[in-house]
Amino acid sequence: MRARQFLILIPAVVMLPFSAFPKSAPCSTQRVLVTVVEEKGNPVLGLQKTNFRAKLRHKPLKILSAEPWTGQRRAVLLFDVSGSMTAWIPLEKEVGLTIVRQAPPGASFAADLFARRTEARVPFTTSSAAVVKEVSALDRIARSIPRKGRRTAIFEAISAGTSMFGEARPGDIICVITDGIGVRWTREGQLERTLLAKGIHLYAFLLITLGGQPGVGFPAASGRGGIEDLTAISGGRTYALETGLYPYRATLSKRLRDDIQDLSRMFDSQLQRAYMIKVRLPIHLKKPESWRLEVVDQHGKANHHMSVFYPHLSPCPTAP
């Protein structure tokens, strides 16, 4: 399979001394939903608390519990129908239809088709037929958008997607399918905090040409606050789908169909299998912070054949 997966490493924060506070204090513990996959992207099952090791600011973080989580996830699918996606609509449609059709029974989906604003929306439903119907109309909807209105509002669409869930539940997912070319937004920090506060994991299928262009090379898709950073910060991941050498001559070749099947299967498998990790925090967090969580063997050695996807730790609302 030629499709590439981006594993984003967020730089560690500067190490500062911990200031102790009572174990019963607000925000002294935090629960995070994490997924663990092996080299082929399949979920790893059967792990226990002793199989995980955590650090914050380079110091050990106590793991209180690690329980399998099999709750039913909800997913908002965001489809980019802006001008730069014109030639890639058939690929985008195939990704969306494959995700929905391969989803586990009872999975709940909503869909939002966006360019400069929302062009069409399907509220949450367990009926895959309703979502399939809307996704199948991507071509028609894209053609109906005036050319001058086909700029991309990626971050605004993600922000709007967070409100589609209503009351947040563990395991909520937003998945955006795009080429990553979008209008720069100045409120990415607020979006980052919203995703963490609601526990929403952001995933992205990034359509790129051979060699990594155009999407991932554009300022709106990379750098702090870009799609790739947001997926990593939220505990999701970015899937890169190579569409060929020429961005405006993309066709659904057998290779592309196989890649879409494989990546969609990986995504759908993570809709069901995860771990709820509870950690004790030695300090009040005033802002989202990166930390390190890894799988270890019985001797405490890191297992580099497994990848762990987890969100940044959320700031404490009552932090002084």
The model's pLDDT over 116-156, given as tens digits with 9 standing for 90+, comes to: 777 778 888 767 788 888 888 888 877 777 666 556 778 88
Dihedral (Cα; 307, 312, 313, 317), 10-degree rounding: -160
CA distance 57 to 32: 18
pLDDT in tens, 233-286: 999 988 888 776 554 455 667 777 777 877 787 777 767 788 999 999 988 888
Query: Is the pLDDT assigned to residue 159 strictly greater than 80?
Result: yes
pLDDT at 284: 86
| Confidence grade of residue 173 (pLDDT, cut at 50, 70, 90) | very high
pLDDT tens-place string over residues 37-84: 888 878 899 999 999 999 999 999 999 999 998 777 889 999 988 877
Name the pLDDT band for 161 (thresholds 50, 70, 90): very high
Q: Domain locations in the chain?
A: 34-70+286-307, 74-269
So what's the pLDDT on residue 42?
Answer: 83
- CA diameter of the chain: 61
Is a pLDDT exceeding 90 seen at residue 195?
Answer: yes
Residue 30 has what pLDDT? 94
Fold of 74-269: Rossmann fold (3.40.50)
Strands 173-178 and 4-6: unpaired
What number of H helices and E strands is found in the chain? 7, 13
Q: Which residue has the higher pLDDT, 265 or 10?
A: 265
Q: Give Cα separations from 25 to 272, 281, 289 (angstroms).
A: 33, 10, 19
pLDDT of residue 198: 92
SS3 146: coil
Band the pLDDT of 26: cuts 50, 70, 90: low
- Does pTM top 0.75 for this prediction? yes
Q: Determine the angle formed by the axes of helices 89-102 and 254-269, rounding to 10 degrees.
A: 40
